[in-house]
Amino acid sequence: MGMNDTNDLRKKNGLMHPSVDKVLVIEGTHAASHAVRLAKVQVIAAYPITPQTGVVEKLSEIVSHRELNAKFIKVESEHSAMACCIGASISGARAFTATSSQGLALMHELLHWAAGSRLPIVMVNVNRAMAPPWSIYVDHNDSLSQRDTGWIQFYAESNQEVLDTVLQAYKIAETVSLPIMINLDAFVLSHTSEPVAIPKQEVVDEFLPERKALFKVDPAEPHAFGALIGPEAYMEMRYKLFQAMEDAREVIRRVDSEYSEKFGRSYGGLVEEYCMEDAEIVLMTSATAVSTARIAVDELRSLGFPVGLMKVRAFRPFPVDEIRELAQRVHKIGVMDRNISFGATGMIYQETKAVLYNASVRPKLFGFIAGLGGRDITPETIKDIYSYLLNHDAPESETIWVGLKSGQEVRPEGGNASSAAFGQNENV
């Protein structure tokens, strides 16, 4: 790659934008920590869990070096981490925590509490498979299991997107009074170094001014928050929460374009499209698998296949309009889920189906399960999926497991099963 190519790439990735202070080659966890510093978070509360630890270690350093004026409460559990964030946020301060997997599950009750209290807390969750059996590797069941708690959920594709999304998240959260979870893939992002543009503080300050809490615990104006409520008003409060999530769609799009103007990087809002002009067959997926899919798409396009890609960046609110619009343009949609809802299907597939049921145009929909517990998703995996989509008029089963090994092939090491192996159930 020549000097000019490198510069083009740097320009394309927004590394040469005037808003850039410096470019650091850092892991995803540290990208999150730098974003917290730039967002001038006032209270951090966190508990260590692999592979999130880089976030809290870097933040400990940042706070102790006084690069950020914040209180960092090193709590005794994730449950307390979220409770501290709730307390800090209801006091009017900007709050942050980070966790993963089991830690997120332990927070479950308080995720409801944060959203129900309408607090703009921002959390980074490093996606890690749920035990048992113990796994520290990526899949998305941890965060997707929290889909009904009232949190906005983003899935990041790169370390740069982690940093950028944390900054966007505070602005969105404080606009719609909802908490936001930014998810990044264990190890693939959390422990992998990439060049990340660190924006200038003054540009961030312009984009994200100090939080002005709409309500807080204030002795000068005493109110009770979260008190007992009867059937006469609970439902209306839930409707308001629902409506805030609906409003968030437009806010997410607006904040992303505002971010693009200031920092030169955009992620399309709720979804991002790749090679969609004249595409007939599209794959929807999320997080780092999108990068891998881009490579597969490039290759298939060069061979003349009409394939495209849609990255699901926001899972909550779900990109309903974007998917219905997509349906009008393509013949087949494949959804690759790095998660499984037992007794149903992959969750993005499930929701996509639900969105399309009442749509005027309904292309054939295929649901693939891949990459659970850190199983590699390679360009070959994705090409196999496109190949399945090209060669089938309809799915042979409701969930199609990709790269599933047979009993004999499942071994602790090696066991390089044929990537074309598709597991199927009878429930077409």
Contact residues for other proteins (CB under 8 A)? 42-43, 45, 69-71, 73-77, 79-81, 83-93, 95, 109-110, 113, 217-219, 221-230, 233
> How far is 169 from 142, CA to CA, in rounded Å?
20
- Of 70 and 385, nearer to other proteins (C-beta) is 70
- Of 48 and 87, nearer to other proteins (C-beta) is 87
- Of 59 and 81, nearer to other proteins (C-beta) is 81
- Of 82 and 290, nearer to other proteins (C-beta) is 82
What's the min distance (Å) between Cβ of 31 and other proteins?
24
What's the min distance (Å) between Cβ of 124 and other proteins?
18
For residue 286, the 8-state DSSP code is: -
Task: Say if residues 60 and 126 touch (Cβ distance below 8 Å).
Answer: no
What's the min distance (Å) between Cβ of 64 and other proteins?
12
Signed CA dihedral, 21, 25, 28, 33: sign only: negative
> How far is 159 from 197, CA to CA, in rounded Å?
10
Q: At a CB cut-off of 8 Å and minimum separation 6, what does 82 contact?
A: 45, 97, 107, 110, 111, 113, 114, 121, 123
| 3-state SS assignment for residue 112 | helix
- Of 82 and 248, nearer to other proteins (C-beta) is 82
What's the min distance (Å) between Cβ of 292 and other proteins?
39
What's the min distance (Å) between Cβ of 280 and other proteins?
50
- Of 39 and 255, nearer to other proteins (C-beta) is 39
What's the min distance (Å) between Cβ of 85 and other proteins?
6
Dig out the tokens for 274 from the structure: 């790749």
Dig out the tokens for 417 from the structure: 């099963």
For residue 428, the 8-state DSSP code is: -
> How far is 21 from 202, CA to CA, in rounded Å?
10
Task: Say if residues 148 and 88 touch (Cβ distance below 8 Å).
Answer: no
